[in-house]
């Protein structure tokens, strides 16, 4: 495929073509305007000469010969029928007797003689007592033709010269105009996955500046995505390494203890516990992967949040009983929300599971449903250690842990709240947390109200 010309060349050609059309139209307009003006002047003189000869032929016919020999009209002829009554001396020299003027009163017209000279002629029929005269006057067009020839020469020389200068200037200006684009293209070619922090240069807030800003915003999003991917890969590798290392260590200890059945059962139990933790981590990673891919199909339906919360409480009640905790559901009114039941159930399960894990033994965990500010609200309030203000904004990030040692001790993966936020936002809601150190946490989910 033949490569297209550069934008710079195409801009120059389009600019030159448009300018050529404008200059050509202007040149033609000037030429025809000057020609019309010169012809109008010549016709005005012709009309004055015709009026002079007509007046003499009608009112003073005896003076017509004197006018032909010594008058102010250079070229005229007066005839009566086929008889020439008077004519100027140059009439025959100019060959004007050969000009065919069929009829009269037709207005001025041009005529070219045998010698190539052009004349402007006009004729008029004059009536006098007992006579019918035909008066013909002429004006030499040589001065007019010479002026038009000079104008034509100037235009034919000036128009191509102007176009050539416009072509050169246009190519230069197009280069200056496209210079920021070339600089942006060069810089964009230098930006790689390792240099996403760099940005395209731009000077002014014009169209090119706005284009650079759009690309810079794209690079910023790519940089953030790559950073999240690197952090996610690093955290996932670390999290996967921990249970695998534990399984390996426990297995090596089991081999060293030999055939002691009780010891082997203890080793196997530890290995299964780590395997469960590994499975939970992989399942969470797969959930987040499906969330980012956008392939999950939602099935929203009107759901009573109190019923959904009761199901989650029933599932986790066994874990709470092990720590002598009480799960209290406060659902004083029916609260409906149009949600995908499975995803929101997982969000509530993760939040309540965290509350059970991090709250001290013998404490109370409250789950509430209500309607607040025109929204369906669901709250989980625990009696845990609370979250410091500097950590609140980050608790919904992947693998973020306030106390890494304590999280691993209770079996956390650092992904539960990230999955909860994704599930809530997927259902058109918002999730937030209020907390103070030592006073527990209150996680709040707000959703659009549903209708029966």
Residues 426 and 351 in one domain: yes
Q: What are phi and psi of 75, to 5 degrees?
A: -135, 115
Please state the pTM of the whole predicted model.
0.49
User: For residue 393, what pLDDT is reported?
Assistant: 77
pLDDT digits (tens, 9 = 90+) for 278-329: 776 676 666 666 666 566 677 888 889 999 999 888 888 888 888 888 899 9
Residue 186 lies in a domain: no
Residues 263 and 362 in one domain: no
**How many domains would you assign to the chain?**
3
402 vs 84, which has greater pLDDT? 84
User: For residue 258, what pLDDT is reported?
Assistant: 60
The percent of residues in the chain predicted with pLDDT above 70, rounded, is 83
Residue 53 lies in a domain: yes
CATH number for the domain including 216?
Answer: 1.10.287.130
User: For residue 29, what pLDDT is reported?
Assistant: 92
CATH number for the domain including 92?
Answer: 3.30.450.20
Residues 246 and 214 in one domain: yes
Residues 420 and 324 in one domain: yes
Residues 227 and 145 in one domain: no
Check pLDDT > 60 for residue 406: no
Check pLDDT > 60 for residue 431: yes
Residues 228 and 304 in one domain: no
Check pLDDT > 80 for residue 197: no
Residue 211 lies in a domain: yes
pLDDT digits (tens, 9 = 90+) for 334-353: 888 888 888 888 888 888 88
pLDDT digits (tens, 9 = 90+) for 116-133: 888 889 888 888 888 888
Full residue range of the structural domain in which residue 27 is found:
7-150
Residues 262 and 306 in one domain: no
Tell which of 270, 289, 308 closes a domain: 289
Check pLDDT > 60 for residue 452: no
Residues 83 and 111 in one domain: yes
Stretch 151-176: mean pLDDT, rounded?
85
Residue 183 lies in a domain: no
The percent of residues in the chain predicted with pLDDT above 90, rounded, is 9
Residues 284 and 354 in one domain: no
Residues 427 and 327 in one domain: yes
Residues 241 and 330 in one domain: no
CATH number for the domain including 429?
Answer: 3.30.565.10
Q: How much is the mean pLDDT over the chain? A: 80
Tell which of 262, 289, 316 closes a domain: 289
Stretch 244-248: mean pLDDT, rounded?
71
Check pLDDT > 70 for residue 277: no
User: For residue 410, what pLDDT is reported?
Assistant: 46
266 vs 384, which has greater pLDDT? 384
Check pLDDT > 80 for residue 402: no
Check pLDDT > 50 for residue 405: no
2 vs 380, which has greater pLDDT? 380
Residue 188 lies in a domain: no
Residues 225 and 306 in one domain: no
Residue 187 lies in a domain: no
78 vs 99, which has greater pLDDT? 78
Residue 168 lies in a domain: no
């Amino acid at each position: 495929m033949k490569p297209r010309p550069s934008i710079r060349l195409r801009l120059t050609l389009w600019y030159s073509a448009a300018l050529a059309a404008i200059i050509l139209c202007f040149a033609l307009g000037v030429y025809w305007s000057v020609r019309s003006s010169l012809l109008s002047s010549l016709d005005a003189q012709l009309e004055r000469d015709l009026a002079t000869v007509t007046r003499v032929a009608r009112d003073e016919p005896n003076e017509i010969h004197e006018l032909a020999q010594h008058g102010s009209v250079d070229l005229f002829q007066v005839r009566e029928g086929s008889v020439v009554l008077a004519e100027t001396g140059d009439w025959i020299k100019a060959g004007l007797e050969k000009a065919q003027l069929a009829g009269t009163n037709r207005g001025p017209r041009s005529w070219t003689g045998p010698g190539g000279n052009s004349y402007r002629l006009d004729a008029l029929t004059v009536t006098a007592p007992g006579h019918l005269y035909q008066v013909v006057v002429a004006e030499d067009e040589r001065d007019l033709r010479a002026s038009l020839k000079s104008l034509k020469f100037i235009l034919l020389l000036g128009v191509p010269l102007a176009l050539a200068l416009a072509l050169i200037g246009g190519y230069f200006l197009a280069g200056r105009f496209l210079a920021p684009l070339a600089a942006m293209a060069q810089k964009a070619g230098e930006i790689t996955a390792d240099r996403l922090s760099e940005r395209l240069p731009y000077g002014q807030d014009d169209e090119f500046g706005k284009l650079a800003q759009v690309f810079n915003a794209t690079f910023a999003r790519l940089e953030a995505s790559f950073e999240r991917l690197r952090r996610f890969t690093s955290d996932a590798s670390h999290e996967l390494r921990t249970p695998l290392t534990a399984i390996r260590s426990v297995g090596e200890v089991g081999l060293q203890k030999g055939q002691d059945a009780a010891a082997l059962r203890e080793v196997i139990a530890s290995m299964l516990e780590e395997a469960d933790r590994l499975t939970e981590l992989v399942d969470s990673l797969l959930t987040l992967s499906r969330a980012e891919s956008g392939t999950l199909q939602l099935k929203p339906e009107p759901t009573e949040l109190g019923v959904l919360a009761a199901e989650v409480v029933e599932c986790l009640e066994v874990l709470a009983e092990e720590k002598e905790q009480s799960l209290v559901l406060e659902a004083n009114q029916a609260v409906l929300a149009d949600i995908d039941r499975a995803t929101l159930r997982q969000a509530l399960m993760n939040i309540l599971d965290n509350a059970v894990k991090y709250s001290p033994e013998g404490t109370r965990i409250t789950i509430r449903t209500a309607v607040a500010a025109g929204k369906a609200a669901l709250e989980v309030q625990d009696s845990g250690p609370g979250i410091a203000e500097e950590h609140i904004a980050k608790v919904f990030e992947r693998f973020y842990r306030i106390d890494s040692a304590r999280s691993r001790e209770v079996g956390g993966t650092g992904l539960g709240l990230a999955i909860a936020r994704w599930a809530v936002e997927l259902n058109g809601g918002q999730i937030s947390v209020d907390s103070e150190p030592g006073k527990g946490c209150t996680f709040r989910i707000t959703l659009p109200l549903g209708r029966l």
